Structure 1
């Protein structure tokens, strides 16, 4: 039995143990009866927003179980080592010149990105659950992870999904930055050539050391060698030199979001 299957079974068991119907359970956690039913039938993944609501209402620890046993269980083998490090990180530094970083993607935006790669059906549900589930590290309490993301301005103008998806996504980025642990900066289009043209990467700070991840077309690569990690950090700092300040970046994102309406 997989971790996700066990999780669904435990959700159902707790509900039945408390003598609650799916409707009553949904009322307590502020989710619809149909949403509850689809999760218990395995038609919809149980994501952190749902699990957090259950934990708040009933004093359970389903989010902790999700983080430790479900996230990444069906991710590619080569990606799992970094997901494990990401889950323990106190700081994530992400550079993405092509798309909104996965930790900030809305469900609709993530779905459009995955569809572009030919992901469909059950594989889509699994991929979405993994991607959206990773975002829990930014909102966990009391030790939420700090995220500093730098994106290229082209990300704001590249249509992913339809205009509504883009407006929702850019608005969500601005809203996320209201959290004290999340910051996004934009490298403007007039910056010209800069070190980030080599492609996206992520640096996770785990137990005082840096672990990098380089995205690739066939598969990514985890960077644990201290010298290579230091080189990646130098590149990160060089890229930030080209970026707008936080307030300037948010202003640009908000202006662009309005153009997508």
Structure 2
């Protein structure tokens, strides 16, 4: 995702709703990135590939697909009110169908390697899809004075995750995740480089990725500065059980190992 556009909303409530949806999008993308990386690592090291595959499928069927359905029931009809957005909405729905087909492939491919390839394809497709969601669909709805985006999504967990309409609440750690807690450490540690992630959704992306880390697991974070405010938020999300080990402290790159207690 390379989007960081400002959305001009008809009301302050709609602007908050846009932020909440974008943050949930970032969390989903971060979680998918972590889980698909874990599946690829498991295939490459021949360790617990089926466990990693199950974790991916559980999250996609439990969170991503319901999110897509909720969009088609609320956001897309609101956007399609505008004639110039109808073709875009149709293309977005078509992408949802391709994503659903990839979820089916991840679950049912006989070869774990093929499943991992389908996971990587889904991740790439979803990241591109979010650019259209965030920068084209949401601005159309939020800018329409005859549509209340905040009213349309109020109370809809599948669209907002654990975010309130104001976007002030963080998601519960580990919600919807399935992770192996066997304690094995042979597989490579996942790396999340946030330097190219837009600032507005950077923290949410990290939250999504770290929520998929099991107890005792580690996420390697790469940043362009010392992410002290982010670390404070992660400590709160983990009830103080976060362990931080700096592998590199600038001047241009900070590299940290974040371990869940």
Q: The TM-score by the shorter chain falls in which range?
A: under 0.3
Larger Cα Rg: Structure 1 or Structure 2?
1
Tell me which of the two structures has the higher relative contact order, counting C-alpha pairs closer than 8 angstroms and 6 or more residues apart.
Answer: 2
Using the size of structure 2 for normalisation, the TM-score is 0.25
Using the size of structure 1 for normalisation, the TM-score is 0.25
